[in-house]
Amino acid sequence: MWRQRNRSQMTEMEESKLQDIEFKTTLIRFFKNFLETADKFSETLDKSSEILKDMKKDQLEIKHTLTKIKNIIQRSNSRLEDRKNQVKDLKYEEAKNTQLKKQNEKRIQKYEDSVRSLWDNFKHTNI
């Protein structure tokens, strides 16, 4: 009987050890899979980080290019505005010159009329 108990106790101990080994094996597999997944995640994160750096670099380059384009457009608009102002100034000067020319013509006409009148008076007195 003692031997039977011993055998049954041994069998229970062996069974317990087997269950313990299975449990530990399952845990080891779980942690191994977990570590592999963590490594893959880390690789993906590294790749994403590199892509993000490249995108930021490209974004800065695009901003710089846009700034250049804006400056070129502003210069063109400024030149166009300058040309418009020059045309306005020329039109103003032309109008001013036309007015002065008309005034000079009127003044000359008055002088001519005065000279004619004086000449006529002079002729009448000499006759």
Owner of token pair 């080994």: 21
Residue 117 lies in a domain: no
For residues 119-123, give the mean pLDDT.
81
For 42, the 3-state DSSP assignment is helix
**Distance (Å, whole) CA 28 – CA 20:** 12
64's CB contacts (< 8 A; 6+ apart) are none
The pLDDT, as a whole number, for residue 87 is: 87
- Examine residue 101 and state whether it is found in any structural domain, yes or no: no
Is residue 64 assigned to a domain?
yes
pLDDT at 3: 53
pLDDT at 6 over 80: no
Average pLDDT score, the chain = 88
Residue 7 covered by a domain = yes
Number of domains in the chain: 1
On the question of pLDDT at 109 being above 90, the answer is yes
Asked whether residue 103 is domain-assigned, the answer is no
Domain-located, residue 4: yes
pLDDT score of 1? 45
Give me the domain span that covers residue 66: 1-89
One-letter amino acid of 46: D
Task: Identify whether 66 is part of a domain.
Answer: yes
Asked if residue 62 belongs to a domain, the reply is yes
pLDDT over 90 percentage in the chain: 47
**CA 112 to CA 71: how far, in whole Å?**
60
